[in-house]
Structure formats: structure tokens, C-alpha cells
Chain A
């Protein structure tokens, strides 16, 4: 099927009336962008009755001024080929090799690269953490270097669960994950099940996490600097002596504050890694 795309630029005060007209002539919905003026986009199937419908729309738009509203500034039409909209977005996701040992693979793709790489199957969804963000990549690479076989790991602000999945694939025996929001916790649980890592990874609510994530070998938190600052003392308490804290989501200008707070809490900073404006700080409890 072909579609006629109707794009109307209008003063904001007429946006409600124009939207109503687009729906009235048979559009299944209207996309809206901009403030004032606003751009409204509707679609009609390119069927026999298209031209009369567009004529009707033109007439009625021209009459908006009769009702005390402003006339649209611009109206344009364009033919749009039908596309496999339901799957089109998937083209944006391909298996993504990260660091030396990991690959993030969407469930609909196959990965035929290096068979030594550890595969994390992850369908992008609403929760943050698809592997394409610099902070996620920084954390994944740091996990490769610091997760030791059989270790206990905690993941604070788990989002999609990607870092917990990586830690488990890299050999952690037990991973405790949590997120302040319900939705990411649900999504993370689905991803843990998808990767058959239910025995290794537990996605906790905050209180249960607080009780469970003790005596950790490693804690990772990819959040933002202000939250990292608050987390530093409690994370110190969660770690065994010698345990490692990977703190990420820190923009360059907040780095000095984070380093200072880590030192104050008793952490020994091992290294700082960077990608674009983002910094990851890796420190250890002596």
C-alpha cells in the first residue's frame, strides 16, 4: 500500500483544530513536532477517495479563520511507500563487539564472528543499556578487566541488566542487581531469563538488594555523578577488602568531585577511563 503523507505547519493556536480535521478525514493518528509554529503530520491510504478527501481538507483548513483561528502557514503532500514499519527499526541494531571478549547480540541477529567471544543476547527496549552508549561500553570494558571467576558482583542502577549479564558471562558466580524504577527491574529480569542466567543473577527491589549485596568483590554503578557521590560510602561498606568499585556516568567536569569523595571515603583510585565526555573511575577498598 502507498500512503499520502500530509504535513501541515500551523500557528500553535490552530493545532487542536487541524489535528481534529486530520483525524476527521480519516487519518489514523497525527504526529506532532515543534512548539509555535507546530508541524502536524497525518497519513491517508493512497486509495481512490484520496483526492476528494484532500480537497475537503484544503477547504476546511482555509475556513479556520472564520472561526477565530489562524490559517496554516504551509501544507504539503508527499507519497510514501509502505515499509515494514514493524521491523524497520531493527536495522539499527547489529551484533556489537565490545572490548576484547564480549559481543552484544539482538535476538533476531546471528553472530558469526569470533567464537571465543561471550555472547550477551539483548533486545533493545525501554530500559537504558543497549551497549551503544559510551558509558555502557566503558563499564563493559572495565568489567572484562576486573571481574574474577567465582566472584560476587553488585550492579546498582541496572537498567536493561546489560552489565549484570556481562559480569555473569565473565565468570561472576553471583550478581545482585537493582534499579530504583520498577520497569527496568522487570526488563532486566526478562533479559536474565533470555540469557539463562537466572541462577547467577538476582534482580532485587532496593530493600532486598540492600540486605543481599554484602561482601562484594566488585560493585558497578553506571548512573550520574550526583548519585555516584551519594553511593560512595554505602558502596565502600558493601565491598570486601580489596574489592573494586567501577563508577561511571560521570561527565568530565564532575570528575574531580568524585575523585575527592572516593579518597575521603577511603577508596584507592586505580585508574580513570574516558570516552567522549564520559569518565569511569575504578577504585578499590584497601
Chain B
């Protein structure tokens, strides 16, 4: 197959629950790929992970055929799982929803390392820590 890549698109969407509504439809529609087939494939592949956000990277080829791979859940999902909470705080400065240890931050940073634009584990931990704090999560020093 003589394939040339037209675009690579990444979507952060809920496992097993993709629909043609935005952002899926609005993002993939203009590329003219068979969206229902993507939605069916994504929902099938992520059915066991319902409740998580499962990022997906879609590679679109010149003849509008495509492939996709799923990635590790976003940092916020991993943080919420580590704390056993449903959502972050709506007032992150005043209303704290939990506390993560340095070791938990390091574990999440390590898991997310391949997807983060970080040069080393320290930079990755800083990203995870900042994300956690922006959600109203305390980080142990």
C-alpha cells in the first residue's frame, strides 16, 4: 500500500462514547474519512475503559483511508484515579479535593512520559504537579 499521510489528528474523548458531535465530527469531517467507521472502531476498542478519557491518534492517508491508535489517559484522569475522585475542584485555590504524594506524581509522570513534551522526568513531574494543582489537588513537598 503506497500510503502518504495527509494529517495526524489527536482527540481526547470519552472511552466507548464517541459520537459524530464536535469535536469528533467537526475535526474529522473536513478530512472526508468514514467517520462512522472510526466511531464504531474507537468505541469497540475502548469499551472496557468506559469512564476514562482515552486519547486517540488518527492518521489520515491521501486516499482518505485511516488508522488510529489509542494512547495513555490524560494526566487529569490519572490524577483523579490516584485520588479516587470523580472531578477536580471548581475553585482550585480555596477548595482542595485531595493530596498527592511526590511518589504518586512521579508514577504518573513516568506513565505519561511518552506523550509529554518533557526532556526528563523532572520536567514531566513539574507538568503533572501543575496539572494536579490546577485541579485543586495539593501536592506533598
User: A-side interface residues toward B, CB under 8 Å?
Assistant: 3, 5, 12-17, 19-21, 23-24, 27-33, 35-36, 38, 41-43, 56, 60, 63-64, 66-69, 80, 83, 85-86, 88-89, 91-93, 123-133, 135-136, 157, 159-160, 222-224, 248-249, 251, 278
Contacts and interface: CB of A to CB of B under 8 A. Distances in A.
B130 A126 contact: no
Contact of B65 (A56, A92, A126): A126
B141 interface: no
Contacts of A126: 34, 37-38, 41, 65-67
A30 B27 CA distance: 10
B12 A30 contact: yes
A92 B32 CA distance: 6
B92 A20 contact: no
15 contacts: A16-B116, A17-B76, A20-B74, A21-B134, A24-B87, A28-B14, A28-B22, A33-B9, A64-B134, A86-B20, A89-B35, A92-B64, A126-B41, A127-B65, A222-B2
Contact of B2 (A63, A127, A135): A135
A60 B95 CA distance: 14
Contacts of A33: 9-10
Given A23-B53, A86-B35, A89-B28, A222 B1 contact: yes
B3 interface: yes
Nearest to A132: B63
A29 B12 contact: yes
Nearest to B28: A89
Given A128-B65, A132-B63, A17 B1 contact: no
B75 A20 contact: yes
B51 interface: no
**B: interface residue count bin:** 35 or more
Contacts of B123: 13
Contacts of A28: 13-14, 19, 21-23
Contacts of A17: 75-76, 127, 130-131, 134-135
Nearest to B41: A126
Interface string B62-84: 11111100000011100000000
A60 B92 contact: yes
Nearest to B18: A29
Interface string B8-50: 0111111000111111111111011111111001000000000
